[in-house]
């Protein structure tokens, strides 16, 4: 490739990047950005007690963050550093209070699992923050389900391939409305459970996390610059298991209303 051709391509890439950034961040004035093809509505989650909705920027998830769950997944639950994966932002499925939301059984899988989790929702960003600073970044909390195509996750992991298809798919990030931390306080202990058709499946306490929310944020901020709108699924306790069409999952996180989801 000639030098001039390379310069041309680099310039094009720079323009493209600037355009994308402008689309993602229209700015505080709300001024119209560039004309875009196939424009998408922002992904938002209602906030309890507020008119404004929370716009989701990125969905991070913590893996194996309760020792007993690490053991059931075949891992050594010693305090290895937390690890993270992401789901696409548009995987969000909001579950309002007092209703049971239909959740489609996803394609390909034959072993579809629930994972009840506390979700921390950031209102401030930062990088290389300390655990002592981290909770100041948390705007609020939600109850979530990190839905998982377990058979695909395992098959890909066994082949040392990315387990993307097991975790990142449509509607795989189920979430309640967000409760501001000003209402709930910071959630560090209390019951977290999941029932299927009224039968308790998962039942633990938030204080059993290997890495608490502040430590998760601090560690994550060494890998990525964090921004307002980022949310973190903080890991699930033991006794994950399958659901099939017709099952109703009820999820509870202390301080948050219970979420109800029917697999259809």
Q: Can you give the three-state secondary structure of the chain, one letter per residue? A: CCHHHHHHHHHHHHHHHHHHHHHHCCCCCCCCCCCCCCCCCCCEEEECCCCCEEECCCEEEEECCEHHHHHHCCCCCCCCCCEEEEECHHHEEEECCCCEEEECCCCCCCCEEECEEEEEEECCCECCCCHHHHHHHEEEEEEEEECEEHHHHHHHHHCCCCCHHHHCCCCCEEEECEEEHHHHCCCCCCEEEEEECCEEEEEEEHHHECCCHHHHHHHHHHHCCECCCCEEECCCCCCCEEECCCCEEEEEECCCCCEEEEEC
Q: 115 or 230: whose CB is closer to Mn ion?
A: 115
Q: 47 or 232: whose CB is closer to Mn ion?
A: 232
CB of 163 to Mn ion, least distance (A): 12
Q: 8 or 83: whose CB is closer to Mn ion?
A: 83
User: From CA 32, how far away is CA 198, in angstroms rounded?
Assistant: 49
Q: 47 or 250: whose CB is closer to Mn ion?
A: 250
CA distances from 82 to 50, 86, 103, 213, 228 (A): 33, 14, 29, 11, 21
Residues at the contact surface with Mn ion, assessed by CB under 5 A: 115, 146, 236
CB of 259 to Mn ion, least distance (A): 15
Q: 47 or 251: whose CB is closer to Mn ion?
A: 251
User: From CA 116, how far away is CA 180, in angstroms rounded?
Assistant: 20
Among all residues, whose Cβ is closest to Mn ion?
Answer: 146
CB of 236 to Mn ion, least distance (A): 5
CB of 146 to Mn ion, least distance (A): 3
CB of 195 to Mn ion, least distance (A): 18
Q: 146 or 230: whose CB is closer to Mn ion?
A: 146
Q: 153 or 236: whose CB is closer to Mn ion?
A: 236
CB of 23 to Mn ion, least distance (A): 30
CB of 91 to Mn ion, least distance (A): 13
């Amino acid at each position: 490739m000639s030098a001039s051709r390379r310069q041309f391509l680099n310039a094009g890439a720079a323009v493209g990047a600037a355009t994308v950034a402008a689309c993602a961040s229209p700015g505080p004035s709300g001024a119209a950005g560039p004309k875009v093809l196939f424009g998408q509505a922002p992904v938002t989650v209602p906030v309890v007690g507020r008119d404004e909705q929370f716009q989701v920027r990125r969905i991070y998830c913590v893996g194996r963050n309760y020792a007993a769950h690490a053991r059931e997944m075949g891992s050594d639950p010693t305090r290895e550093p937390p690890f993270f994966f992401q789901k696409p932002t548009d995987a969000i499925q909001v579950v309002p209070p007092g209703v049971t939301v239909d959740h489609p059984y996803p394609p390909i899988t034959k072993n579809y699992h629930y994972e009840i989790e506390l979700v921390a929702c950031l209102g401030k960003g930062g990088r290389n923050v300390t655990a002592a600073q981290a909770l100041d970044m948390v705007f609020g909390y939600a109850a979530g389900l990190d839905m998982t195509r377990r058979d695909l996750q395992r098959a890909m992991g066994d082949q040392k391939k990315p387990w993307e298809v097991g975790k990142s798919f449509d509607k795989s990030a189920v979430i309640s409305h967000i409760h501001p931390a000003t209402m709930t306080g910071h959630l560090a202990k209390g019951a977290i459970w999941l029932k299927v058709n009224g039968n308790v499946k998962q039942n633990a306490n938030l204080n059993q996390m290997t890495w608490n929310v502040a430590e998760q944020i601090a560690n994550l901020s060494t890998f990525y610059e964090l921004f307002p709108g980022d949310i973190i699924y903080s890991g699930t306790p033991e006794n994950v298991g399958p659901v099939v069409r017709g099952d109703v999952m009820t999820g509870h996180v202390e301080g948050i209303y219970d979420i109800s989801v029917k697999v259809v």
